[in-house]
Structures are given as C-alpha cells and as structure tokens.
Structure 1
Amino acid sequence: MHQPAIPHLHAADPDIARLVEAEARRQFDKARLIASENYVSPAVLEATGSVLTNKYSEGYCGRRYYEGQQNVDPIETLAVERAKGVFGAAHANVQPYSGSPANLAVYLAFAEPGDTVMGMSLPMGGHLTHGWSVSATGRWFTSVRYGVRADTGRIDLDEVRDLARRERPKIIWCGGTAVPRTIDFPAFAEIAREVGAVLAADVAHIAGLIAGGAHPSPVGHADVITTTTHKTLRGPRGAMIMSTAEHAAAVDKAVFPGLQGGPHNHTTAGIAVALKEAADPGFGAYAHQIVANAAALATALLERGFDLVSGGTDNHLILIDLTSRGVAGKPAARALDRAGIELNHNTVPFDPRKPFDPSGLRLGTAAITTRGLTERHMPHLAAWIDEAVQAAAKQDEARLDGIAAEIRELLAAFPMPGWAPTP
C-alpha cells in the first residue's frame, strides 16, 4: 500500500491507479541500479502531491504577478535558504523545471547565439545540453568538446586546457552523465580563469554526494552550478541553479522571464523537504554508503572479469564496457531488466557501436543504498549481473527468471520508502 495512500485515485480512475500500483510493485521487486534514479521519502511524496499544485506563482518571492502568495513565498524562501545552507552557495534559484532547462538558463545568462562553448563529448560521458549536436545547445552555439584519455578513461585536462586556449569559449562545462571519477573542480576553474570563461559545473548526478560530503564541492571554484534535485539528492524531479552573488541577477533573469513562467510550487515544496533531509547528519552517512557500495560493486565486477571504464569508480556510478563479453549493451540491459536488475545501456568512450545500440551499461548505487543494501550485498549483485549477461548471450530466459526470483527474495527484507506490500 502507498504512503500516502491513494484511495481517491482508485475511486476516480482505477486504470491509472492500477498502473501506479504496478509501478510501485516493480520498484519494490527490482534492484534499481539506474544511476539517475532513487526513492524519495514519504514526506517528499506528500509535498509533491499537495494542493500546492493548484497555485500559480509567476515571478519571485515578494515580486509575483499573481496574488495569493502568502504561503508560497515562505515555501520558496525555505527551499532557497536550505539550498544555500546545504551547499554553501551565495545564491540559489529553485524554480527550473528540470536539469536541461536549468542548463539552458546558463546559456541565456552568459552567452549569445553563435558564441563558442565547451563541454564534455556525449560519447565520452558528457550531457546533451553541454553542446552536443542533436541538442539545441549544439545548434545555437559553436561547440567544442573534450574527452577522456584512451589509456585511463579519465578526463584529459591537458586537452581541456589546449582547447580552451585555442577556442576561447564563453562557457566551459564540467560534469556529465556518465563520469565515474572525481571531477577536479579547481583544475577546471584555473583553466576557465586563464581564458576568461564562465565555469559551469553540472552536478546533477553527484549533488547528493556533495551535500553529504562524499565528493568535493564546486562551490568556490565554479561561477554557476546546476543540478537536478532527484538522483543522489533524493528529492523530486526538479532542478536548481546556484551561483556566486555576482551572477545572481543574470541567473534569475534567465530562468524567469527568460525561459519559463510560473514555478511548480508542489515541486518547490518537495525540494525544500529533501534539502531539510540532506541537512541531517544521517544524510552524510547515506552519501558515503552510496560510494562504499559502488566501490564494492566495482571490485566484485572486476573480479568477475568485467571491463570498467576508468577501471572503477570514485562516486555512485559505474560504466561497464561489454565488448569482451560478446553481447551489446541494449540486449544485455533488456535481459538484466527481466532478471530483476534495472539499469540502462550506454555508450562507452571510443565506442565502435552506434549510440542507440552501444557497447556499455551504466549503473549506480543510490537507490539500492536507500533501500538499505550495504557492501556485503554487492558481490551477490555482481554475481547476478554476471549470470544475467551470460544468459543474455545464450538467450537463456529461464535463468533470467530464476535470477529475478532470487532478487525479489532478497529485496523483500528491505523496505521501500512510500510503498509496502499489502499484508
């Protein structure tokens, strides 16, 4: 049953209610290893499902274009102040609808169409909005891209510096969507200062680790920081932009009226709740446990002969290259899903295969850590992953179903926030 319960949904729309219940059961039964997913607390669920969804609040606190903001303004103020407190930032904007619009706001604040921008290449681990060709950011701006070293799988900072000196970008992005190693924010900041660029740190994946002290912070190094509020931060599907005081006005103007209208107040409330949870000392233990679990899982996978990009991980994320396994990423991911292990196929650096049919798998440990799994469970997960990949190569569907049953048995002992099986 749900926490909070959904009796009105069951009464008003049983078709949707049935699908919601099925999704809850799926999330309970599967080892959720998608690096960008997590479980929010019942308190976050209640905030995001509240009557705040009824209210329109275009503008900023004390400067709205609609009346009736007596309760919304304090909610947004709490979210902003909590973000500044958790991350130590001078300024925070909690209104962006998601990570991509937050990144678009950075371009609007600091660049003009046609300007040169620099980010990590998508196949190397970067994000679409860091200037990749199929994104608006790659069409509206002149994009140059850096990558990783072929011998280490780590960001090539010499290449970053050489490209920046030659191309003189207005914005340099650091961070990405498949970066398993610690981001060297001071090194990026030094390069940005040398060429007069704005340094934008996209910490969407690692924001919770930063909040919990399990990854270095870009605050004090980056001019502007963007992040989603889910993933490791364990909040609702939203985003934030943080910046130095110098850039606060430009960031706020870019978000509204530059890109969007009224913020989603129910999401803002959920963000505020998640940030209050992140300020609790227990959240630091959680963040460090995510990293410990990822390191243990990476070690167990290496022991089973898997090839890991960069040889391991420093954070929550692991990138597997399946080239030597004789199975591509997409069929392996589908087989693993049937086996009760949810992750995603992903390109790997220098991937010879096409992006929609790549050689790799991306996985992360945030969600399973929320469920309460620890290092002692990681060898079991690695064994199941190994068996499922072998079964995928052999098209052994019976073994996949067997693994799924074993995983359900394990996870039954670990509560899921927001839902529990009916006794």
Structure 2
Amino acid sequence: MSVTAAPDAVRMTHHGADFDALRRQDPQIAEVLLGELERQSDSLQLIAAENFTSPAVLAALGSPLANKYAEGYPGARHHGGCELVDTAERIAVERATALFGAEHANVQPHSGSSAVLAAYAALLKPGDSVLAMGLPYGGHLTHGSPANFSGRWFDFVGYGVDAESGLIDYDQVRTLARTHRPKAIVCGSISYPRHPDYAAFRVIADEVGAYLIADAAHPMGLIAGGAAPSPVPYADVVCATTHKVLRGPRGGMILCGSELAERIDRAVFPFTQGGAQMHTIAAKAVAFGEASTPAFTAYAHQVVANARVLADGLEAEGFAVLTGGTDTHLISADPAPLGVDGRKARGRLAAAGMVLDTCALPYGDGRGIRLGTAAVTTQGMRETEMERITALFTAAMREEGEETRKVRTEVRELAGRFPPYQG
C-alpha cells in the first residue's frame, strides 16, 4: 500500500494535525501504519486478545489530550491546566462504575498487568501466599510466573483443571486454600473458555480469610454486554483490560468496593505508575459509552454465538477442543489429532492469512492453539462466516504449497467483504 493516499479510517484531524502530516514528516512510519491497516483488512484476526476499536476511540487516542501531563487524580493533580482532563477522567469513572455496577473504578492502569500489579500492591506484602490458576492450565504471567514480578515477589500456588472434563476442579481449589491459607485467591485465565464460578471462589476465599481478586481481562466485554456473569458482586477487586472484547483502547482498569478505593488508588498512583495517559483515559470513556448501548449488547451475544459455532465446527473436523466447547469468545484446542502441534498449526494458518496464538495444554508437553471471535464479529461476521472459517481452517491445516496459496486467496476475499474500517 502506498503512502500517497490515506484512507478516511486513519485520517484524523485535530487543529491541522492529520495523517498527511505524518506522511510528509515521516514516510517510513506512515508506510508501517498503512501496511498494518492493510494486514488487518485482508486477513482474519483471530487472536483472542485483539479487537478493532471504533473510529471514535481512535480519534480520542490521537487527540491533543496526549500532550497533557496529569499525575494524580481529578481535583488533586500535581500539574496545572488539568481542568478538562479531569472532566474526561470523571466521565470515564462514572461510565465504568455504571456499566459494571461497581462502587469505585480506577481507569488509570496502562495495561491489564499494571492493574493486577496495583491490586497486589494494595492488598499484599512481598512473600504473601497467593492461590491462582497455574500457568499450564491457562493462568496469566501475573499469576505467578517466575519470569514476572508476581512469581518473584509472592509465593504462588497453582490450581488446575480436571483431567477428564478440563473444567476447574473446585475441590482442589478448596483443598489448596485450606492447606496454604493464601492472603489472596485469583480467579481468571487467558485460555480457559468457560465462566468461572465466582460464587464458589467467594465461599472458598471467605473460608480461609483471603481476598478474592478477579482477573477479568478476557471476559470484561462480555460482562459489559450481559453475555457473561459478572465478578463484581463477589470479588474484592476486579482487574481488567479495556481492549479485547470491550473494544476500547489498549489499557487497564480496576473495580472495587468503596472500602478499598483509597488503597487501590494509591497503589496505582503514586506506587506503581506516574502520569496518567489522558488520551487513553478519554478513549476508555468513549468505549464505556459505546459498551452501554443495545448495539453492544447484541454484539457481545453474537461474539459468543460465533465462538460456539466455530468450536463445534473445529471439533467436528478433528480438533480436540478443550472442555468440549466454549461459553465465551475464546476457543482453546489441540491440533494433534490432525498430525501437527500448536506451533506448526499457527504457522500454517498464518501462511493462509488466519492469525492466532498458541497456548499451553493442561496435560502433556505440547502446545495448543487459542483463538477468539471478538474481532471478526466486530467486522460483522456471523454464524455463516464461522462455518466458512472452519472450512478454511481445515484446508490450511491439511494443505501446503499451492493449496495454501489458494486458501490465502479465499481468506483475503472473505476478509475483504467485511472491512474493519469503511472508507
């Protein structure tokens, strides 16, 4: 794609600053930007953690709010000239608390990991014991990886899933909690496709006197749209991202009750972060507003419907779908019955224009694949397209060389009928 013309989707004008200015000033970066837009437009984005933001969210991200330094919170900043960004943050907080039924929201975390770090900082001390889903079963890096701050600063114990069903073993969770008496229990994962039983986790946490932290980075958009149960009534703290299914800017947020509000806020600033990214906070406000509409509710339910059709199709084609299906937007599967492991499967699918991730498998040393339907649903795809994607998946897995190029052409044609951005 040439940088000689910019599509309306990436042309954003704020007091004369637009894409044309970038094209003139730095054509190399302009070429990267347009190339990425083209990549997103002519392939299928099936990474479970990705989505397409709206043009309104993109406009907020590319706004003059990016220029403003605003350490602190509305009404108590460490910099002058914050009256308008204070308004933006208050709007974001009000919309988040209303959308999720929470007493308090902090919308400043730069990412989901930053949100989890702040939650730990507010509730724990280094060396405290924490019970969370083990990484081989779908736990996140912040759930005790030795390469992450969580595994270095806290004593993590991992719970797993039942070997037969692939579902969380709540009896094991209870036994581990009674044995280790953790200061906090974390529920949430990056590849578990079923809804956690938040009420069961709450009972176990109360039994051992632990805080309950819900890491809802993946399902938060489904929760906003009423397509997944909410952890807010059960968890002491809920950490989340604002992208993924929620379809906002890349960033994080924290929800909690009023009794923990001050501790959470101080853990975000000044303990773990400095200045807030006000353009991102404004974009979060836009996304929260969009997520409160009937159209978003319909979208969230369609995401789940699409994922179930895709999971059923893949299982029928021979993939070993973990837990036998999905309740959410994501699917985890083992391609071994087709004669390949997760890494080779990802490579074949990428060559055909279908982009997804690998994931750990609960039992065994191999890798599986993890995919999601949030982005393709944003593009307008429905059950019929999921059936088509299943067929393309199977063809890409079983063919190489010239046949892969044929599949790539079909993928490009399908994606072209559902452009993420018009114009």
Q: TM-score range by the shorter chain?
A: over 0.9
Aligned to 1:379: 387
Q: Does 1:414 align with 2:418?
A: yes
The Cα offsets for residues 18-45 of structure 1, whole Å up to 9 and x where unpaired, read as 1110100010011110000000000000
Which residue pairs with 2:320 in the alignment? 307
1:370 matched to 2:378: yes
Task: Report if aligned partners of 2:345, 2:397 keep a CA contact under 8 Å in 1.
Answer: yes
Say yes or no: does 1:327 pair with 2:340: yes
Does structure 2 retain, via aligned residues, the 8 Å contact 1:123–1:351? no
1:373 aligned partner, one-letter code = M
1:242 aligns with 2:265: no
Shift in Å, 1:246:
1.1
Give the secondary-structure state (helix, strand or coil) at the position aligned to 2:191: coil
Partners of 2:85 and 2:294 lie apart in 1 by 28
Partner of 1:342: 355
Of 171, 192, 209, 2:205 maps to 192
Asked whether the 8 Å contact 1:92–1:241 carries over to 2, the reply is yes
- In structure 2, runs of 5+ residues without a counterpart are 1-6, 12-18
Asked if the contact 2:318/2:337 (under 8 Å) is kept, the reply is: no
Alpha-carbon distance, 1:378 to partner: 1.2
**1:266 and 2:279 equivalent?**
yes
2:301 aligned with 1:288: yes
Q: Which runs of 4+ in 1 moved over 2 A?
A: none
| Contact 1:319/1:363 (<8 A) preserved | yes
Q: Tell me if structure 1 keeps the 8 A contact 2:319–2:336.
A: no
1:233 paired residue among 230, 243, 246: 246
1:398 and 2:405 aligned? no
Is 1:112 the counterpart of 2:125? The answer is: yes
Cα pair 2:115 2:254 within 8 Å, conserved: yes
Which of the numbers 25, 29, 32 marks the counterpart of 1:12? 25
Shift, 1:345, TM fit: 1.4
Contact 1:4 1:46 in 2 (8 A): no
- 1:244-303: CA deviations, max 9, x gaps? 111111100100111011110010011000000001111000000000000010111111
Corresponding residue for residue 3 of structure 1: 9
Partner of 2:181: 168
Give SS of 2:248's match.
coil
Distance (Å, rounded) in 2 between the aligned partners of 1:305 and 1:130: 32
1:101 lines up with 2:114 in the alignment: yes
Alignment of 1:40-79 (within 5 A): 40-79=53-92
RMSD across aligned positions (CA): 0.9
Aligned residues: 410
SS at match of 1:123: helix
Give me the TM-score of the superposition, normalised by structure 2: 0.95
Distance 1:2 1:135 in 2: 40
Counterpart secondary structure, 2:9: coil
Residue aligning to 1:24: 37
Cα shift at 1:341: 0.6
Deviations 1:39-98 (CA, angstroms, capped at 9, x unpaired): 000000000010111000000110100000010000000000000011000000000010
- The separation in 1 between residues aligned to 2:183 and 2:20, in whole angstroms, is 52
Tell me the TM-score normalized by structure 1.
0.95
3-state SS of 1:15 partner: helix
CA distance in structure 2 between the aligned counterparts of 1:2 and 1:96, rounded to whole angstroms: 30
SS in 1 for 2:404: helix
Alignment of 1:137-176 (within 5 A): 137-176=150-189
Q: Which amino acid aligns with 2:301?
A: H
Whether 2:291 is the aligned partner of 1:278: answer yes
**What displacement does 1:4 show?**
4.0
Give me the whole-angstrom Cα distance separating, in 2, the residues matched to 1:149 and 1:388.
Answer: 32
Where structure 1 has 5 or more consecutive residues not aligned to the other structure, the ranges are none
User: Could you tell me how far 1:308 is from its partner in structure 2?
Assistant: 0.5
In structure 2, how many angstroms separate the alpha carbons of the residues matched to 1:350 and 1:282?
A: 40
Q: Can you list the C-alpha shifts for 1:122-149, whole angstroms capped at 9, x where unaligned?
A: 1101101011222111111111000111
- For residues 341-395 of structure 1, what are the alpha-carbon distances to aligned partners after superposition, in whole Å with 9 as ceiling and x for unaligned? 1101111111323xxxx2x10000000000000011111111111111112xxxx
